[in-house]
Amino acid sequence: GKGVIEVRVLTANGIPASQATVWVKRVGLPADQAEGVVEKGIIRFDSLFEGVYAVEVRDSLGRGARGEVVIPAPRQAGWVSLVLAETGSVAGFFLGVDKKTPVSPARLSLFSGEKHIGVATTLPDGAFQFENVPMGRFHVEGYNPGTGRRAEGLAILSVDGQVVAMLLVEEGLGSIAGK
């Protein structure tokens, strides 16, 4: 079923923002996404599949924000309020267990605490990037759909405009032994 997402965007002073670009991207399948420009502090996205969405916003001055919103059921709405602030970026590579082979296409998820605030897919060389990441502690999880292997990285952004470099390496699946 399909529903609605409303995103409220405020400046650091609590004033409704205008002319900021907002992206919403569904975390799971089926893939769904939308993009628009906020006017008078609010934007509405109609006809999106129910589920969890990562939300990203950026204004013309380089301030940004990220958050999570859920459309709980068909014909229902989810909403989130975001405050524009200083942000940084995360850029890196996702490699296989051999630490040489790029993992692509792979699905990457960005988390702040328990909130799912970003979704990306690796490029053919295993590269990935998340922009407009809020200051503070975050983690990135990678998943290789071809092997079922995962990888995880943790980091902290502490300075506006900072770029954190991250290398994700697939973890082994373990082994089974028996008689």
Per residue in 104-159, pLDDT tens?
Answer: 999 999 999 999 999 999 999 999 999 999 999 999 999 999 999 999 999 999 99
Integer-rounded Cα radius of gyration of the chain:
18
CA distance 59 to 167: 29
Q: What is the pLDDT of residue 175?
A: 63
When comparing pLDDT for 167 and 1, which is higher?
A: 167
pLDDT tops 80 at residue 178: no
CB 92 within 8 A of CB 153: yes
Q: What is the pLDDT of residue 176?
A: 67
DSSP 103-132: --S-EEEEEETTEEEEEEE--TTSEEEEEE
Distance of CA 166 to the CA centre of its chain: 15
CA distance 3 to 122: 29
Predicted TM-score (pTM) of the model is 0.88
pLDDT tops 80 at residue 173: no
Mean pLDDT throughout 169-179? 77
Question: What confidence category does residue 172 fall into, taking pLDDT thresholds of 50, 70 and 90?
Answer: confident
Mean pLDDT throughout 62-80? 96
